Structure 1
Amino acid sequence: MDYREWLGETARELLRVPLNTEQLDLLYRYYRLLVEGNKKMNLTAITDEKAVFVKHFFDSLTPAPHLSFSEVDSLIDVGTGAGFPGIPLKIAYPHLRLVLLDSLNKRVTFLRETVAQLGLHGVECVHGRAEEVARRPLFRESFDVVTARAVAKLNVLAEYCLPFVRVGGWFVALKGADIEEEVGQARPGVRTLGGKAPDSISLSLPEGMGKRHLIFVTKERPTPKSYPRKVGTPVRNPLHSS
Protein backbone atom coordinates (compact mmCIF):
# COMPACT_ATOMS: atom_id res chain seq x y z
CA MET A 1 0.00 0.00 0.00
CA ASP A 2 1.16 3.54 -0.78
CA TYR A 3 0.89 5.38 2.52
CA ARG A 4 1.43 8.70 0.78
CA GLU A 5 -1.93 8.29 -0.91
CA TRP A 6 -3.49 7.10 2.34
CA LEU A 7 -2.16 10.09 4.27
CA GLY A 8 -3.32 12.51 1.60
CA GLU A 9 -6.86 11.19 1.74
CA THR A 10 -7.01 10.77 5.52
CA ALA A 11 -5.49 14.16 6.37
CA ARG A 12 -7.94 15.85 4.00
CA GLU A 13 -10.99 14.01 5.33
CA LEU A 14 -10.23 13.95 9.07
CA LEU A 15 -8.03 17.00 9.60
CA ARG A 16 -9.00 19.25 6.68
CA VAL A 17 -5.32 19.46 5.76
CA PRO A 18 -4.79 19.41 1.97
CA LEU A 19 -1.47 17.82 1.06
CA ASN A 20 -0.37 17.91 -2.57
CA THR A 21 1.81 15.31 -4.30
CA GLU A 22 5.01 17.27 -3.63
CA GLN A 23 4.24 17.53 0.09
CA LEU A 24 3.41 13.83 0.33
CA ASP A 25 6.65 12.97 -1.49
CA LEU A 26 8.57 15.15 0.99
CA LEU A 27 7.01 13.25 3.89
CA TYR A 28 8.00 9.94 2.28
CA ARG A 29 11.58 11.20 1.82
CA TYR A 30 11.53 12.28 5.46
CA TYR A 31 10.43 8.76 6.41
CA ARG A 32 13.37 7.27 4.49
CA LEU A 33 15.84 9.68 6.15
CA LEU A 34 14.36 8.80 9.54
CA VAL A 35 14.86 5.08 8.96
CA GLU A 36 18.44 5.63 7.78
CA GLY A 37 19.24 7.97 10.65
CA ASN A 38 17.78 5.50 13.12
CA LYS A 39 20.52 3.02 12.20
CA LYS A 40 23.10 5.41 13.64
CA MET A 41 21.26 6.77 16.68
CA ASN A 42 18.04 6.26 18.61
CA LEU A 43 15.56 8.57 16.87
CA THR A 44 12.36 6.54 17.10
CA ALA A 45 11.17 3.14 18.25
CA ILE A 46 8.72 3.18 15.32
CA THR A 47 10.16 2.39 11.87
CA ASP A 48 7.35 0.46 10.16
CA GLU A 49 6.10 2.64 7.29
CA LYS A 50 2.42 2.45 8.18
CA ALA A 51 3.10 3.18 11.86
CA VAL A 52 5.34 6.17 11.02
CA PHE A 53 2.70 7.65 8.72
CA VAL A 54 -0.01 7.23 11.38
CA LYS A 55 1.79 7.66 14.72
CA HIS A 56 4.27 10.32 13.63
CA PHE A 57 3.01 12.13 10.53
CA PHE A 58 -0.77 12.08 11.01
CA ASP A 59 -0.35 12.60 14.76
CA SER A 60 1.86 15.65 14.14
CA LEU A 61 -0.86 17.25 12.01
CA THR A 62 -3.69 16.78 14.53
CA PRO A 63 -3.52 20.37 15.90
CA ALA A 64 -4.34 21.73 12.42
CA PRO A 65 -8.17 21.68 12.64
CA HIS A 66 -8.06 23.61 15.92
CA LEU A 67 -5.61 26.41 15.06
CA SER A 68 -5.57 28.43 11.87
CA PHE A 69 -2.05 27.52 10.79
CA SER A 70 -2.45 29.47 7.56
CA GLU A 71 -2.40 32.56 9.80
CA VAL A 72 0.44 31.36 12.07
CA ASP A 73 3.78 32.93 11.19
CA SER A 74 6.21 31.35 13.66
CA LEU A 75 6.45 28.06 15.54
CA ILE A 76 9.06 26.57 17.86
CA ASP A 77 8.99 22.83 18.53
CA VAL A 78 10.48 22.24 21.99
CA GLY A 79 12.21 18.90 22.58
CA THR A 80 11.59 18.07 18.94
CA GLY A 81 13.62 14.83 18.92
CA ALA A 82 13.50 13.50 15.36
CA GLY A 83 11.41 16.51 14.27
CA PHE A 84 7.86 15.83 15.46
CA PRO A 85 5.52 17.63 15.14
CA GLY A 86 7.60 20.48 13.68
CA ILE A 87 8.74 19.05 10.34
CA PRO A 88 5.36 17.57 9.26
CA LEU A 89 3.69 20.88 10.15
CA LYS A 90 6.33 22.78 8.14
CA ILE A 91 5.78 20.51 5.14
CA ALA A 92 2.01 21.02 5.39
CA TYR A 93 2.37 24.79 5.93
CA PRO A 94 5.54 25.85 4.06
CA HIS A 95 5.22 29.53 5.06
CA LEU A 96 5.91 28.76 8.73
CA ARG A 97 9.09 30.13 10.28
CA LEU A 98 10.13 27.06 12.24
CA VAL A 99 12.63 26.52 15.04
CA LEU A 100 13.46 22.95 16.05
CA LEU A 101 14.91 22.87 19.57
CA ASP A 102 16.55 19.83 21.13
CA SER A 103 19.06 19.28 23.93
CA LEU A 104 20.98 16.45 22.20
CA ASN A 105 23.53 17.65 19.66
CA LYS A 106 23.47 14.41 17.63
CA ARG A 107 19.74 14.82 17.04
CA VAL A 108 20.20 18.46 16.04
CA THR A 109 22.86 17.37 13.52
CA PHE A 110 20.38 14.85 12.08
CA LEU A 111 17.71 17.57 11.90
CA ARG A 112 20.02 19.99 10.08
CA GLU A 113 20.95 17.34 7.53
CA THR A 114 17.31 16.34 7.09
CA VAL A 115 16.10 19.92 6.63
CA ALA A 116 18.84 20.47 4.02
CA GLN A 117 18.08 17.26 2.12
CA LEU A 118 14.36 18.04 2.08
CA GLY A 119 15.09 21.56 0.83
CA LEU A 120 13.05 23.21 3.58
CA HIS A 121 13.54 26.96 3.95
CA GLY A 122 12.89 29.11 7.01
CA VAL A 123 13.92 26.37 9.46
CA GLU A 124 16.48 26.84 12.24
CA CYS A 125 17.76 23.86 14.25
CA VAL A 126 18.92 24.90 17.71
CA HIS A 127 20.92 22.85 20.20
CA GLY A 128 20.13 23.81 23.79
CA ARG A 129 18.01 23.37 26.88
CA ALA A 130 14.64 25.10 26.89
CA GLU A 131 15.36 26.70 30.28
CA GLU A 132 18.36 28.52 28.79
CA VAL A 133 17.17 29.22 25.25
CA ALA A 134 13.91 30.75 26.52
CA ARG A 135 15.96 33.49 28.18
CA ARG A 136 17.56 34.62 24.92
CA PRO A 137 15.93 37.90 23.76
CA LEU A 138 15.58 36.56 20.20
CA PHE A 139 13.45 33.65 21.39
CA ARG A 140 11.59 34.86 24.47
CA GLU A 141 7.86 35.49 23.91
CA SER A 142 8.42 35.70 20.16
CA PHE A 143 6.47 32.74 18.73
CA ASP A 144 2.85 32.46 17.67
CA VAL A 145 2.74 28.75 18.53
CA VAL A 146 4.94 26.52 20.69
CA THR A 147 4.56 22.76 20.37
CA ALA A 148 5.86 19.85 22.43
CA ARG A 149 5.17 16.16 21.98
CA ALA A 150 5.83 13.48 24.58
CA VAL A 151 8.59 15.50 26.27
CA ALA A 152 7.52 15.70 29.93
CA LYS A 153 4.48 16.07 32.18
CA LEU A 154 2.40 19.15 31.53
CA ASN A 155 3.42 21.00 34.70
CA VAL A 156 7.05 20.74 33.55
CA LEU A 157 6.30 21.33 29.88
CA ALA A 158 4.47 24.56 30.67
CA GLU A 159 7.60 26.03 32.23
CA TYR A 160 9.67 24.93 29.23
CA CYS A 161 7.23 26.25 26.64
CA LEU A 162 5.15 29.21 27.81
CA PRO A 163 8.16 31.59 28.06
CA PHE A 164 8.56 31.21 24.27
CA VAL A 165 4.92 32.11 23.49
CA ARG A 166 4.00 35.69 22.61
CA VAL A 167 1.02 37.14 24.48
CA GLY A 168 -2.02 36.06 22.48
CA GLY A 169 -0.22 33.00 21.12
CA TRP A 170 -0.65 29.30 21.89
CA PHE A 171 1.18 26.48 23.62
CA VAL A 172 0.08 23.11 22.22
CA ALA A 173 1.03 19.83 23.92
CA LEU A 174 0.50 16.57 22.02
CA LYS A 175 -0.21 13.93 24.64
CA GLY A 176 -1.27 10.32 25.10
CA ALA A 177 -4.47 8.81 26.43
CA ASP A 178 -4.49 9.58 30.18
CA ILE A 179 -4.14 13.28 30.99
CA GLU A 180 -6.78 14.27 33.58
CA GLU A 181 -4.49 14.18 36.61
CA GLU A 182 -1.66 15.77 34.64
CA VAL A 183 -3.84 18.70 33.51
CA GLY A 184 -5.16 19.23 37.03
CA GLN A 185 -1.64 19.35 38.48
CA ALA A 186 -0.52 21.83 35.81
CA ARG A 187 -3.27 24.45 36.20
CA PRO A 188 -1.65 26.54 38.99
CA GLY A 189 1.70 26.64 37.21
CA VAL A 190 0.12 27.53 33.88
CA ARG A 191 -1.55 30.55 35.50
CA THR A 192 1.72 31.57 37.17
CA LEU A 193 3.44 31.48 33.77
CA GLY A 194 0.84 33.71 32.12
CA GLY A 195 -1.36 31.08 30.53
CA LYS A 196 -5.10 30.60 30.50
CA ALA A 197 -6.51 27.36 31.94
CA PRO A 198 -5.69 24.44 29.62
CA ASP A 199 -8.28 23.11 27.18
CA SER A 200 -8.01 19.51 26.04
CA ILE A 201 -9.35 17.66 23.01
CA SER A 202 -9.43 13.87 22.77
CA LEU A 203 -8.99 12.02 19.49
CA SER A 204 -8.31 8.58 18.09
CA LEU A 205 -5.58 7.88 15.58
CA PRO A 206 -6.70 6.12 12.37
CA GLU A 207 -6.17 2.39 11.86
CA GLY A 208 -6.88 1.76 15.56
CA MET A 209 -3.43 3.02 16.53
CA GLY A 210 -4.34 4.59 19.83
CA LYS A 211 -5.91 7.46 21.73
CA ARG A 212 -4.40 10.94 21.92
CA HIS A 213 -5.09 14.28 23.55
CA LEU A 214 -4.25 17.78 22.44
CA ILE A 215 -3.83 20.39 25.18
CA PHE A 216 -4.14 24.05 24.22
CA VAL A 217 -3.02 26.92 26.44
CA THR A 218 -3.54 30.54 25.39
CA LYS A 219 -0.92 33.03 26.60
CA GLU A 220 -2.80 35.83 28.38
CA ARG A 221 0.01 37.70 30.17
CA PRO A 222 3.79 37.94 29.93
CA THR A 223 5.69 35.23 31.76
CA PRO A 224 7.39 36.61 34.90
CA LYS A 225 11.11 37.17 34.35
CA SER A 226 12.00 34.60 37.01
CA TYR A 227 10.78 31.78 34.71
CA PRO A 228 11.95 29.42 33.43
CA ARG A 229 14.08 28.52 36.41
CA LYS A 230 17.59 27.02 36.16
CA VAL A 231 18.21 23.88 34.11
CA GLY A 232 16.78 20.82 35.85
CA THR A 233 14.68 22.75 38.38
CA PRO A 234 11.32 22.37 36.58
CA VAL A 235 11.70 18.58 36.64
CA ARG A 236 12.92 18.36 40.24
CA ASN A 237 10.44 20.87 41.60
CA PRO A 238 7.39 21.34 39.34
CA LEU A 239 5.45 24.53 39.97
CA HIS A 240 2.37 22.85 41.44
CA SER A 241 4.47 21.31 44.24
CA SER A 242 6.62 24.33 45.07
Structure 2
Amino acid sequence: MNEEQFVQALKEQGIELNEKQIAQFAKYFELLVEWNEKMNLTAITDAPSVYLKHFYDSISAAFYIDLSGQKTICDVGAGAGFPSIPLKICFPELDVTIVDSLNKRIGFLGTLAEELQLTNVHFVHARAEDFGQNLLYREKFDIVTARAVARLSVLAELCVPLVKLGGIFISMKGAAADDELADAKKSLSILGAIIKEEHSFKLPIENSERNIFVFDKEKKTPKKYPRKPGVPNKTPIQ
Protein backbone atom coordinates (compact mmCIF):
# COMPACT_ATOMS: atom_id res chain seq x y z
CA MET A 1 0.00 0.00 0.00
CA ASN A 2 1.70 3.18 -1.15
CA GLU A 3 0.91 6.64 0.22
CA GLU A 4 -1.70 7.37 -2.45
CA GLN A 5 -3.48 4.05 -1.88
CA PHE A 6 -3.38 4.68 1.87
CA VAL A 7 -5.02 8.08 1.52
CA GLN A 8 -7.65 6.69 -0.85
CA ALA A 9 -8.41 3.65 1.35
CA LEU A 10 -8.99 5.92 4.37
CA LYS A 11 -11.17 8.24 2.27
CA GLU A 12 -13.35 5.26 1.37
CA GLN A 13 -13.83 4.71 5.12
CA GLY A 14 -14.85 8.32 5.64
CA ILE A 15 -11.49 9.59 6.92
CA GLU A 16 -10.11 12.37 4.71
CA LEU A 17 -6.52 13.38 5.37
CA ASN A 18 -5.31 16.92 4.68
CA GLU A 19 -1.83 17.78 3.40
CA LYS A 20 -0.46 18.27 6.90
CA GLN A 21 -1.66 14.83 8.01
CA ILE A 22 -0.25 13.14 4.90
CA ALA A 23 3.10 14.83 5.61
CA GLN A 24 2.94 13.66 9.24
CA PHE A 25 2.57 10.04 8.16
CA ALA A 26 5.49 10.41 5.73
CA LYS A 27 7.66 11.85 8.53
CA TYR A 28 6.49 9.09 10.90
CA PHE A 29 7.69 6.47 8.42
CA GLU A 30 11.02 8.25 7.99
CA LEU A 31 11.66 8.46 11.76
CA LEU A 32 10.52 4.87 12.33
CA VAL A 33 13.08 3.54 9.84
CA GLU A 34 15.82 5.86 11.12
CA TRP A 35 15.36 4.89 14.79
CA ASN A 36 14.86 1.24 13.94
CA GLU A 37 18.52 1.08 12.92
CA LYS A 38 19.48 1.97 16.51
CA MET A 39 16.86 -0.04 18.40
CA ASN A 40 14.31 -2.74 17.70
CA LEU A 41 11.00 -0.99 17.05
CA THR A 42 9.57 -3.11 14.24
CA ALA A 43 10.46 -5.95 11.88
CA ILE A 44 8.43 -4.17 9.17
CA THR A 45 10.38 -1.35 7.54
CA ASP A 46 9.45 -1.14 3.84
CA ALA A 47 7.05 1.71 3.09
CA PRO A 48 4.15 -0.30 1.55
CA SER A 49 4.06 -2.67 4.55
CA VAL A 50 4.37 0.10 7.13
CA TYR A 51 1.50 2.03 5.54
CA LEU A 52 -0.68 -1.09 5.42
CA LYS A 53 0.25 -3.16 8.47
CA HIS A 54 1.05 -0.34 10.89
CA PHE A 55 -0.69 2.86 9.80
CA TYR A 56 -3.87 1.60 8.11
CA ASP A 57 -4.28 -1.29 10.53
CA SER A 58 -3.95 1.06 13.53
CA ILE A 59 -6.60 3.41 12.16
CA SER A 60 -9.05 0.58 11.45
CA ALA A 61 -10.62 0.90 14.93
CA ALA A 62 -11.98 4.29 13.82
CA PHE A 63 -13.95 2.65 11.01
CA TYR A 64 -16.32 1.29 13.67
CA ILE A 65 -15.97 3.62 16.66
CA ASP A 66 -16.50 7.38 16.72
CA LEU A 67 -13.19 8.91 17.80
CA SER A 68 -14.05 12.52 17.02
CA GLY A 69 -14.05 15.13 19.78
CA GLN A 70 -11.92 15.56 22.89
CA LYS A 71 -11.81 11.99 24.13
CA THR A 72 -9.04 10.61 26.33
CA ILE A 73 -7.36 7.48 25.04
CA CYS A 74 -4.71 5.29 26.65
CA ASP A 75 -2.52 2.96 24.60
CA VAL A 76 -1.01 0.12 26.64
CA GLY A 77 2.34 -1.19 25.40
CA ALA A 78 2.31 0.98 22.30
CA GLY A 79 5.82 0.05 21.17
CA ALA A 80 6.49 2.27 18.16
CA GLY A 81 3.21 4.15 18.72
CA PHE A 82 0.62 1.77 17.32
CA PRO A 83 -2.32 2.24 17.26
CA SER A 84 -2.50 5.55 19.14
CA ILE A 85 -0.20 7.82 17.11
CA PRO A 86 -1.82 7.09 13.72
CA LEU A 87 -5.21 7.65 15.40
CA LYS A 88 -3.95 10.92 16.91
CA ILE A 89 -2.79 12.13 13.48
CA CYS A 90 -6.24 11.41 12.03
CA PHE A 91 -8.12 12.81 15.04
CA PRO A 92 -6.00 15.68 16.44
CA GLU A 93 -8.45 16.45 19.28
CA LEU A 94 -7.75 13.12 20.98
CA ASP A 95 -5.86 13.38 24.27
CA VAL A 96 -3.43 10.46 24.15
CA THR A 97 -1.52 8.73 26.95
CA ILE A 98 0.96 5.99 26.04
CA VAL A 99 2.45 3.64 28.60
CA ASP A 100 5.42 1.44 27.76
CA SER A 101 7.87 -0.52 29.89
CA LEU A 102 10.94 0.28 27.77
CA ASN A 103 12.44 3.73 28.27
CA LYS A 104 14.19 3.71 24.89
CA ARG A 105 10.81 3.38 23.16
CA ILE A 106 9.47 6.27 25.24
CA GLY A 107 12.47 8.27 23.98
CA PHE A 108 11.55 7.50 20.39
CA LEU A 109 7.89 8.40 20.97
CA GLY A 110 8.81 11.71 22.60
CA THR A 111 10.96 12.65 19.61
CA LEU A 112 8.21 11.51 17.24
CA ALA A 113 5.58 13.67 18.93
CA GLU A 114 7.92 16.66 18.80
CA GLU A 115 8.81 16.18 15.13
CA LEU A 116 5.16 15.66 14.13
CA GLN A 117 4.12 18.65 16.27
CA LEU A 118 1.55 16.64 18.19
CA THR A 119 -0.03 18.23 21.27
CA ASN A 120 -1.81 16.53 24.19
CA VAL A 121 0.28 13.36 23.90
CA HIS A 122 1.70 12.01 27.17
CA PHE A 123 4.28 9.25 27.62
CA VAL A 124 4.69 7.21 30.77
CA HIS A 125 7.55 4.80 31.39
CA ALA A 126 6.00 2.05 33.53
CA ARG A 127 4.92 -1.56 33.65
CA ALA A 128 1.24 -1.74 32.71
CA GLU A 129 0.44 -3.54 35.98
CA ASP A 130 1.90 -0.68 38.07
CA PHE A 131 0.32 1.94 35.83
CA GLY A 132 -3.12 0.37 36.34
CA GLN A 133 -2.76 0.68 40.12
CA ASN A 134 -1.70 4.34 39.94
CA LEU A 135 -4.66 6.48 41.06
CA LEU A 136 -3.63 9.22 38.62
CA TYR A 137 -4.59 6.92 35.76
CA ARG A 138 -6.86 4.22 37.15
CA GLU A 139 -10.39 4.39 35.68
CA LYS A 140 -9.62 7.77 34.10
CA PHE A 141 -9.84 7.11 30.33
CA ASP A 142 -12.74 7.20 27.86
CA ILE A 143 -10.98 4.63 25.66
CA VAL A 144 -8.19 2.15 26.38
CA THR A 145 -6.65 0.15 23.56
CA ALA A 146 -3.79 -2.20 22.80
CA ARG A 147 -2.50 -3.94 19.72
CA ALA A 148 -0.38 -7.10 19.58
CA VAL A 149 0.54 -6.97 23.29
CA ALA A 150 -0.83 -10.20 24.83
CA ARG A 151 -3.67 -12.71 24.73
CA LEU A 152 -7.02 -11.12 25.55
CA SER A 153 -7.31 -12.89 28.93
CA VAL A 154 -4.04 -11.17 29.97
CA LEU A 155 -4.64 -7.93 28.10
CA ALA A 156 -8.00 -7.37 29.79
CA GLU A 157 -6.33 -7.27 33.21
CA LEU A 158 -3.87 -4.63 31.99
CA CYS A 159 -6.43 -2.46 30.18
CA VAL A 160 -9.88 -2.66 31.80
CA PRO A 161 -8.75 -1.15 35.16
CA LEU A 162 -7.80 2.02 33.26
CA VAL A 163 -11.21 2.49 31.60
CA LYS A 164 -13.60 4.89 33.32
CA LEU A 165 -17.15 3.71 34.06
CA GLY A 166 -19.09 4.06 30.82
CA GLY A 167 -15.88 4.03 28.78
CA ILE A 168 -14.68 1.36 26.35
CA PHE A 169 -11.80 -1.07 25.93
CA ILE A 170 -10.86 -1.79 22.30
CA SER A 171 -8.89 -4.94 21.57
CA MET A 172 -7.35 -5.24 18.09
CA LYS A 173 -6.61 -8.82 17.08
CA GLY A 174 -5.64 -10.95 14.10
CA ALA A 175 -6.99 -14.41 13.33
CA ALA A 176 -8.12 -16.90 16.03
CA ALA A 177 -9.60 -14.00 17.98
CA ASP A 178 -12.82 -15.86 18.83
CA ASP A 179 -10.81 -18.41 20.83
CA GLU A 180 -9.19 -15.60 22.79
CA LEU A 181 -12.57 -14.03 23.45
CA ALA A 182 -13.95 -17.31 24.80
CA ASP A 183 -10.89 -17.75 27.06
CA ALA A 184 -11.21 -14.19 28.37
CA LYS A 185 -14.93 -14.28 29.16
CA LYS A 186 -14.51 -14.82 32.91
CA SER A 187 -11.69 -12.33 33.36
CA LEU A 188 -13.61 -9.63 31.52
CA SER A 189 -16.65 -10.20 33.72
CA ILE A 190 -14.58 -10.05 36.94
CA LEU A 191 -12.85 -6.88 35.76
CA GLY A 192 -16.17 -5.16 35.01
CA ALA A 193 -16.35 -5.27 31.20
CA ILE A 194 -18.87 -6.73 28.79
CA ILE A 195 -18.63 -7.29 25.04
CA LYS A 196 -20.46 -4.57 23.12
CA GLU A 197 -19.37 -5.03 19.49
CA GLU A 198 -17.38 -7.45 17.36
CA HIS A 199 -16.04 -6.46 13.96
CA SER A 200 -14.21 -8.72 11.54
CA PHE A 201 -12.63 -7.54 8.30
CA LYS A 202 -9.84 -8.28 5.84
CA LEU A 203 -6.81 -6.04 5.56
CA PRO A 204 -6.69 -4.65 1.99
CA ILE A 205 -4.22 -6.05 -0.54
CA GLU A 206 -2.98 -8.99 1.56
CA ASN A 207 -6.46 -10.06 2.77
CA SER A 208 -5.31 -11.14 6.25
CA GLU A 209 -8.00 -11.40 8.92
CA ARG A 210 -8.47 -8.70 11.53
CA ASN A 211 -10.85 -8.56 14.48
CA ILE A 212 -11.83 -5.64 16.65
CA PHE A 213 -13.61 -6.24 19.96
CA VAL A 214 -15.24 -3.35 21.80
CA PHE A 215 -16.06 -3.80 25.51
CA ASP A 216 -18.18 -1.54 27.72
CA LYS A 217 -16.96 -0.82 31.24
CA GLU A 218 -20.09 -1.52 33.29
CA LYS A 219 -18.77 -1.70 36.83
CA LYS A 220 -15.67 -0.70 38.77
CA THR A 221 -12.70 -3.05 38.64
CA PRO A 222 -11.88 -4.77 41.98
CA LYS A 223 -8.88 -3.09 43.65
CA LYS A 224 -6.68 -6.19 43.48
CA TYR A 225 -6.45 -5.90 39.66
CA PRO A 226 -4.13 -5.55 37.92
CA ARG A 227 -1.95 -7.84 40.02
CA LYS A 228 1.83 -7.44 40.38
CA PRO A 229 4.06 -7.21 37.28
CA GLY A 230 4.38 -10.54 35.51
CA VAL A 231 1.53 -12.24 37.37
CA PRO A 232 -1.25 -11.67 34.79
CA ASN A 233 0.91 -13.22 32.08
CA LYS A 234 1.94 -16.24 34.18
CA THR A 235 -1.48 -16.91 35.69
CA PRO A 236 -4.34 -15.28 33.75
CA ILE A 237 -7.64 -14.93 35.58
CA GLN A 238 -9.58 -18.20 35.22
Band of TM-score, shorter chain: over 0.9
Look up the match of 2:50: 52
Whichever residue aligns with residue 195 of structure 2, its letter is A
Q: Do the aligned residues in 1 keep the contact of 2:69 with 2:94 (CA within 8 Å)?
A: no
**Distance of 1:101 and 1:190 partners within structure 2:** 21
> How big is each residue's C-alpha offset from its partner over 1:180-220, in whole Å with a ceiling of 9 and x where there is no partner?
21110101100000001364211111112521111111111
Number of the residue aligned with 2:109: 111
What residue number does 2:166 align with?
A: 168
TM-score when normalising by structure 2:
0.97
Aligned to 1:163, the other structure's residue is in SS state helix
Point out where structure 2 has 5 or more consecutive residues left out of the alignment. none
Q: 1:226 aligns with which of 218, 224, 227?
A: 224
Q: Which residue of 1 aligns with 2:135?
A: 137
SS in 1 for 2:63: coil
Q: Confirm or deny that 1:11 pairs with 2:14.
A: no
Q: Secondary structure at the match of 1:69?
A: coil
Looking at structure 1, the residues matched to 207 and 129 of structure 2 have their Cα atoms a distance apart, in angstroms, of: 33
Count of matched residue positions in the alignment of Structure 1 and Structure 2:
238
Between the aligned partners of 2:95 and 2:148, the Cα distance in structure 1 is 22
Could you tell me how far 1:134 is from its partner in structure 2? 1.1
Return the letter of the residue paired with 2:163.
V
Q: Aligned-residue CA RMSD in angstroms?
A: 1.2
Deviations 1:9-58 (A, max 9, x none): 10110x22121111011011000000001000110010110000000000
Distance in 1 (CA, whole Å) between partners of 2:163 and 2:201 is 25
Q: Aligned AA for 2:236?
A: P
* Deviation of 1:120 (Å): 0.5
In the other structure, the counterpart of 1:194 is 192
Q: Is the 8 A contact 1:195 1:218 kept in 2?
A: yes
TM (norm. structure 1) is 0.95
One-letter identity of the residue aligned with 2:84: G
Amino acid of the structure 1 residue aligned with 2:122: E
Q: Which amino acid aligns with 1:6?
A: Q
> Whole-Å Cα distance in 2 between the matches of residues 198 and 131 of structure 1?
25
- Native 8 Å contact 2:144 2:163 kept in 1: yes
- Structure 1 moving runs of 4+ over 2 Å: 197-200
Distance in 1 (alpha carbons) for counterparts of 2:39 and 2:207: 25
- Identity between Structure 1 and Structure 2 (%): 45
* SS of structure 1 residue aligned to 2:75: strand
Residue 91 of structure 1 aligns with an amino acid whose one-letter code is: I
1:150 to 145, 148, 151: 148
CA distance in 2, matches of 1:131, 1:33: 29
**Aligned-residue offset at 1:4:** 2.6
